[in-house]
Structure 1
Amino acid sequence: MKALVKRRWRRAGRAEADRTETFLKDYEYYCVTACAKFLNRQSAKDHVWHLTDQEGTVSALLLHYGRALLPVFGKTGDIPLPHFMKNFLGRIPIHAVQGLLKDAAILENAMENLGYQAKDRRTYDLMALDKAPAQSGSGEFPPGLILRRPEFTDMDALFPLQAGYEQEEVLPKGAEFNAALCRLTLSRILSNEQALIACMDGRVVGKINTNAAAFSRTQIGGVYVLPEYRGRGIAGCMTTRFAGELIAQGRGITLFVKKENVPARAAYQKAGFSAVADYRISYYQ
């Protein structure tokens, strides 16, 4: 009889960085956020755990970044409960679990067994694009629409869009909008991310930006058009132009969109994006 291969969770240190990276690269297509967090981790604050066998082969990862847990469980079906979870969750508050639906569900069940109850759960279509977007994705270019790079002088004009995006798409149920934090997020986007804005009638009416960069893929998000300008194809124009620029840089593109957001899903599909998996974000605090 073949002996069972014993697996256990281990904290991944600097010596295991190469193994961690190799494992994540195999699943980058489905976990751009986790890969980006790994590449930007701060060892004093963030944690990475491996599920390994006796020979050190990695079959699953769990990343802690900020107040979020990001599971990357690969093809592993039977995930043993990490022995450290109870003590860890007792010391460090967790705000969110984020990852593929199948992975997030495993972690959610483990957390429920430890007394954690999600306050809000959102399921998305994870979509991907790996070639130049279909030019038909933008439809007819709306008269008077100008697409350009944002500048810091656009901060005040962009704030209502970032605020609207966070309130409609980001904040979990019952959470209060924080204007100061929103401005800090917008400043970080303008400083560190690639972005494109849409202008019409002398005002900024739409925005799109990157929000994570992994090994070979970039994730886009923050797509928002002022309510009074929706239905004119602006989001499709922004997505097609922006995605085309990223593809020209040699990057694959990922995004996730709420399943109930039919107009957005249609716009992304017209641009050439395909749904590749179900994605989940669950909020706890």
Structure 2
Amino acid sequence: MSWRPASVGNEQRLVAFLCRDEVRCAGASARVKAGERGCTAFVEEAAGAIRGALVATAAGLVLPVLPEGIGDRLGLAGLLGGLHMPVHSIGGPETGVAAVESVMPLPPTTRIEYRLMQLARPAWAGAAVHASAAAAAEGVRVRRSGGADAALLFPLQRAYELEEVVIDPALFSDAACLKLLRQGLRTELVFHATRDGRPLAKAGTNARGYGVDQIGGVFTVASERGKGLARIVMAALLEAIFAEKPAACLFVKKSNAPAIALYERLGFTTVGGYVISYYGI
């Protein structure tokens, strides 16, 4: 067994490996599918078969796909130590992340645990079931977001990142946030709700795999929470996803009871744990 960069010769086998249980590795498969710049995929093979994979991004994010655990521990440790960008974070199903953590020279400085949830097209009840007559009566409108909506949605994206994503607020950058938002509006499915032109809630994909889209960035402004806005925006997003893909997934902090309740009302079920470990912050 040994780890090596994925090549053109085994690309099809890598895709088949990722798609065996894509809900658990949508972040990795989406990057392979898109050919993300600066992103490298590695595979561990045994007897000509892929038994593990790892995707490393230019930003230092490592996404392990290790359904059978690690075979070549020394090889993986050497691979991680030789990456062009030092490991900044590790994200994925909890068993895979724990396996990679075990060969890192130091423990993570921050570790956040989530639920991994999925919804398959056959279990989707349809957007009409989740419509809100009250929101419609108040003039709330939901539509797909586009590149021209970056300025409109930036306050929501900024608030979302500071509340749900950023570990150290001192490291937050408005410019970086806006850049990523613009990129997402070009490449992802994003929907938002407004009233009188004011943005109230949003939801979108953050990884578009082969047969699974991963959802993220679900956010409602604090003054509008509890009114069902996230539910109708999510419903619009799921309709768009299921027009193209058979499944959707997301991960949500285990402590976020209101969000978990929302996703369960939409039909999502928990399939396991998900972890993001950070190094140096």
Normalising by structure 1, we get a TM-score of: 0.88
Residues 1:103 and 2:96 are matched in the alignment: yes
Alpha-carbon deviation of 1:205? 0.9
In structure 2, relative to structure 1, the CA distance for the partners of 1:154 and 1:42 (3 Å cut) is closer
- Within-5 A mapping of 1:1-285: 7-41=1-35, 45-53=38-46, 55-66=47-58, 67-74=60-67, 76-77=68-69, 79-83=71-75, 85-86=77-78, 88-89=80-81, 92-111=85-104, 114=105, 116-131=106-121, 132-133=124-125, 135-137=128-130, 141-142=134-135, 143-173=138-168, 176-285=171-280
CA contact (8 A) 2:6 2:43 kept: yes
Cα deviation per residue 1:75-126 (whole Å; 9 max; x = unaligned)? x145331425347426531111011001001101111xx2x33121111111
Secondary structure of 1:92's aligned partner: coil
**Which residue of the partner structure matches residue 4 of structure 1?**
none
Unaligned 5+ residue runs, structure 2? none
State the AA in 2 paired with 1:120.
T
Work out the CA distance in 1 between the residues paired with 2:250 and 2:78: 32
Tell which deviates more after alignment, 119-128 or 85-94. 85-94
Unaligned 5+ residue runs, structure 1? 1-6
In structure 2, relative to structure 1, the CA distance for the partners of 1:42 and 1:235 (3 Å cut) is closer
Of the two, which has the highest radius of gyration?
Answer: 1
Work out the CA distance in 2 between the residues paired with 1:87 and 1:208: 36
Work out the CA distance in 2 between the residues paired with 1:205 and 1:232: 11
Work out the CA distance in 2 between the residues paired with 1:138 and 1:103: 38
Work out the CA distance in 2 between the residues paired with 1:261 and 1:255: 13
Alpha-carbon deviation of 1:136? 4.3
In structure 2, relative to structure 1, the CA distance for the partners of 1:150 and 1:46 (3 Å cut) is closer
Cα deviation per residue 1:233-273 (whole Å; 9 max; x = unaligned)? 11111112211221133431111111111111111110111
CA contact (8 A) 1:48 1:64 kept: yes
Work out the CA distance in 2 between the residues paired with 1:32 and 1:56: 24
Cα deviation per residue 1:207-231 (whole Å; 9 max; x = unaligned)? 1111111111111111111111111
CA contact (8 A) 1:119 1:173 kept: no
In structure 2, relative to structure 1, the CA distance for the partners of 1:182 and 1:203 (3 Å cut) is same
Tell which deviates more after alignment, 13-22 or 225-234. 13-22
State the AA in 1 paired with 2:26.
V
Cα deviation per residue 1:115-173 (whole Å; 9 max; x = unaligned)? x3312111111111112246544565423211012244432221110001111111124
CA contact (8 A) 1:138 1:234 kept: no
Normalising by structure 2, we get a TM-score of: 0.89
In structure 2, relative to structure 1, the CA distance for the partners of 1:242 and 1:141 (3 Å cut) is farther
State the AA in 2 paired with 1:122.
I
CA contact (8 A) 2:145 2:185 kept: yes
Aligned residues between the structures:
273
State the AA in 2 paired with 1:49.
F
State the AA in 1 paired with 2:223.
E
Work out the CA distance in 1 between the residues paired with 2:150 and 2:2: 48
